[in-house]
Structure 1
């Protein structure tokens, strides 16, 4: 058995009318890895996920999950995977317990329904009808049914939409525990903090193509850190120490607020504070921060758009 549980090569997916939602994406996901697929609305995330889940055939390229074509060899793949769609669509009149028993009856090697419901915080809601659940509770039920077969590969499409902060954190802990047990997880999410907290690696999709991929730390590190502060009265940007030797790659000034972009955060911040100490001034509204995944995501999407416009 290969260590690459998911293998996508030059995947393309088109819809009626000729719209190409996925335009030649390639990536792999290793056993026990959590891989996040990110992108703005319409980037091709769900279109890619549906092919991997065996719900649609690719227009071009090849996809393998656990060594099999998930669409043509669905019988070999589906019992070993769990799928959490953006909306579960369970019968609204069934109770939570009835839904779990129904789903278990359709699942090979199903875990005890009570155990799965308890693991997602629905242990005390078994007698409640699905239509009476809150939005967050419905997402918990969706997750429970994705886990009931104890899958080797878990597909999570926006798993924490509708959850409050506590529920989101609890879901993160559960997903981490699954990964630590060896479950391979492919996640799509609009919550960039979620991807930053959970993912081992990620890919950022933009208009059907991968604009960036790699370890989360490496993608974030591709963007500069930032230092912002308010210039003291009587001082101007030219009074600051020379910026280029400090790894400052750019800056902008708005009123008296200065923002520096640097690849050497500690060095630049130390030099700036040393200058302020020597000048006997205070840098008000001082904010020193490393790049975040959100900043990297926005810049990568912007660069991809600019590159496309340049090609045109």
Structure 2
């Protein structure tokens, strides 16, 4: 069901131009999809988003102040880069979004650095991508070719990046794991409910409250997973850091005597499962009988959607040289 599990540290920077009611610049630091750091141009402070992240000051009392200053400088760098890319693309006014994402993956079982990545984007499309294995830059658009050529000729910069993503970034990742192990390595099973809007609606199996997001939810008949007459939803975040997902089953062709052969199965990475057999008495709904009564109990058919609608990297400047280079 799942690929091998790796730990991922990633940072997202987003700079915007002429976007109303949105900060001009935002940094989000994530550890395995859990937000641990934040900066924006409204608050102008680099702050922890998890209690355990405060432990970053154990070895460095000035940690948050120092990275606040770095973030403020990067904010100005981003503002300049938006103008440079606009000129490259022959654009002037209007709404524009410049994004930068970077990070590294690590296998905590083998201590192997799986991958490091850097990706630039402008107005929702790739602009420059680093291929760390070949130590080359990919330019998806013609306007990025001059930067690609310039950066590939700078062998010292490429060597610096390779060292950062394969060594220093992973050192930061390991520190986060050390401080936040109880949160980052936890495994929470969900509550699973059967929901239906009307008697003719598809039956929804809804799982909520699980962690991490490496999970699967599916319908099966007897012991065989169903692929027909099912519609699977995306994994969505809950406000408390856990996750939810749902999968619909079309009941139109289902015979009454076959109901007991169907079940909804939630599978969490690592092997833990929750199974719920299809039973009419367990279905929650808000459709009414002819006498106006409610059938099946209280409806809970709302799916909470939380979106991190921007991305782009925040470089977690280690002790080394600032890698930012103008386009």
Give yes or no for TM over 0.5.
no
- Greater per-residue strand proportion: 2
Coarse TM-score class (shorter-chain normalised): under 0.3
TM-score normalised by length of structure 2: 0.24
TM-score normalised by length of structure 1: 0.24
